[in-house]
A and B are shown apart, each in its own frame.
Chain A
Amino acid sequence: MLASEDISTANDSLLTKVLSLHPQVALRPEPFGALAYHFDNRRLVFLKHPDVVTVVSALHPPLTLAEVLTQCGISPRRWPSFQTAIASLLGSEMLHEH
């Protein structure tokens, strides 16, 4: 219980963060979404939904994640799943924080 509360708090604070795609990451569109490849750490990550690709591509300073989600027309009901996806991309250094 505690652990999941920690995660949701952590993800909520994500909304106020200013994020962008790491400069060493390339995105390649695929039928299911996109592939992201990090040229420094050689990680290959699947972005498994076109909307995630839209959001990730739209990230740019000075916008916060919440502002980008709004701008992309993602209904707040779906934000938690986007926060999880963004948190994992941050964890694998596909995104970085400003």
Chain B
Amino acid sequence: MSTSSLVAQMKQGLDAPICLTWELTYACNLDCVHCLSSSGKRDPRELTTAEAKSVLDQLRDLQVFYINIGGGEPTIRRDFFEILEYSISQGIGVKFSTNGAFIDAPRAKQLAAMDYLDIQISLDGIDAATNDAVRGAGSYAKAIRAMDNLAAADFGPFKISVVVTRHNVDQLDQFKALADSYGAQLRVTRLRPSGRGADSWHDLHPTNAQQRQIYNWLMAHGDNVLTGDSFFHLNALGDPLPGLNMCGAGRVVCLIDPIGDVYACPFVIHDEFKAGSVREDGGFAKVWRESPLFLELREPQSAGACASCGHFDACQGGCMAAKFFTGLPLDGPDPECVSGEGAAALAAVTAVPVPMMDHSRRPVTNGAQSVSLMPSRASR
């Protein structure tokens, strides 16, 4: 089977996700301007330890190989280590994302003693000035201290995860050097206009010239850099980049949020993309296999306005989340379309979706409530 038929197969969905993100809490000690889940305050409805364990039992039965744990800041949960250990004991590997604030020397030792565990530390600038402008004062120092602690504890190759912005795109070489200096692996991802990112995206997202710069850099270094599904919209520039070159939302990717709601991907926390809840009868497995939203996403998708573009096979119209939260139609160009179609489409946007959840400690969006200014998927 060729790569393209494999992608075709994956588009029809798998029996269980291969990239499942589980955000354990909306609580966070930081207040990053681009937080995809608008985290800050804990939600009183968050899953209990017992509920979390029963979700893990289900994931084990589905043979989910590993999960990506995030938040909020997952290490804030008092049962964080209990959940971690339970997952690993059930044969489910864990990678967790953290801002590093709570990885002191003793915790680093504890983590280093565990198998099947990967840790990913977020860093959005190579110096405090660049990083802290996005992630908040003091966050650079905390992340570096966590890396030092993990290295001292002999954790092994952890990951450094960078969201590429207009302000750090020139630092990619330095990020790579930093990762190499720790024997760590660099992960580079795309800024999406999700959560608080909807408010900061216009100021932070890379310019068109920088998109090409990212493409060229990944062409040269991408084999040793993780990117997930971040940059397939750049494939319109030439040969395909390494990485998952398709949108896996609801097909191979999904999100379980802190209150147990299941979304098509971590970047679409919105009712339009909510498939169900692990708290319903049948739990996660039933949502994954039977939710009408996921079944619809596994059907062939229309290329819409991209159909006439010669790059569609390579770029596939880009990221659904990026389109949705900038108010663009889902069957049209990505807002960062390298052919410039996105910029034109953005200029015509009159309304963007109102966020449905905001756990920010200082709400940045006024009057966020369950009212959508956009026509729903069904009526489009």
Contacts and interface: CB of A to CB of B under 8 A. Distances in A.
A44 interface: yes
Contact of A39 (B1, B15, B116): B116
Interface in A9-49: 26, 28-32, 35, 37, 39, 42, 44, 46, 48-49
A29 B118 CA distance: 25
Interface residues of A, number: 14
Given A28-B63, A31-B15, A39-B116, A46 B93 contact: no
B116 to A, nearest CB: 6
A20 B125 CA distance: 46
Contacts of A49: 1
Contacts of B228: none
Nearest to B118: A42
Interface in B1-45: 1, 6, 9, 12, 14-16, 18
Given A39-B93, A42-B118, A30 B66 contact: no
Contacts of A35: 14, 18, 65
Contacts of B65: 26, 28, 35, 37, 39, 44
B143 to A, nearest CB: 23
Interface string B98-116: 0000000000000000001
Interface in B304-328: none
A37 B118 CA distance: 15
Q: Specify which of B63, B66, B91 lies most central, judged by the most chain A CB atoms within 10 Å of its CB.
A: B63
A58 B368 CA distance: 57
Nearest to B14: A30
A29 B15 contact: yes
A48 to B, nearest CB: 4
A39 B14 CA distance: 20
A44 B93 contact: no
Contacts of A29: 15
Contacts of B1: 32, 46, 48-49
Contacts, number: 34
Contacts of B14: 30, 35
Contacts of A46: 1, 6
Nearest to B64: A28
Nearest to B95: A42
Contact of A26 (B6, B18, B91, B118): B91
Given A39-B93, A44-B18, A31 B63 contact: no
B252 to A, nearest CB: 10
A75 B91 CA distance: 36
Given A28-B65, A39-B93, A39-B116, A48 B18 contact: no
Nearest to A37: B65
Contacts of B63: 26, 28
Nearest to A49: B1
Given A30-B14, A31-B12, A48-B6, 20 more contacts: A26-B63, A26-B65, A28-B15, A29-B15, A30-B15, A31-B15, A32-B1, A32-B9, A35-B18, A35-B65, A37-B65, A39-B65, A39-B91, A42-B66, A42-B93, A42-B118, A44-B18, A44-B65, A46-B6, A49-B1
23 contacts: A28-B15, A28-B16, A28-B65, A29-B15, A30-B15, A31-B9, A31-B12, A31-B15, A32-B1, A35-B14, A35-B18, A35-B65, A37-B65, A37-B66, A39-B65, A39-B91, A39-B93, A39-B116, A42-B66, A42-B93, A44-B65, A48-B6, A49-B1
Name the 5 nearest CB pairs between A and B, nearest first: A37-B65, A48-B1, A28-B63, A32-B9, A39-B116
Interface of A: 26, 28-32, 35, 37, 39, 42, 44, 46, 48-49
Interface of B: 1, 6, 9, 12, 14-16, 18, 63, 65-66, 91, 93, 116, 118
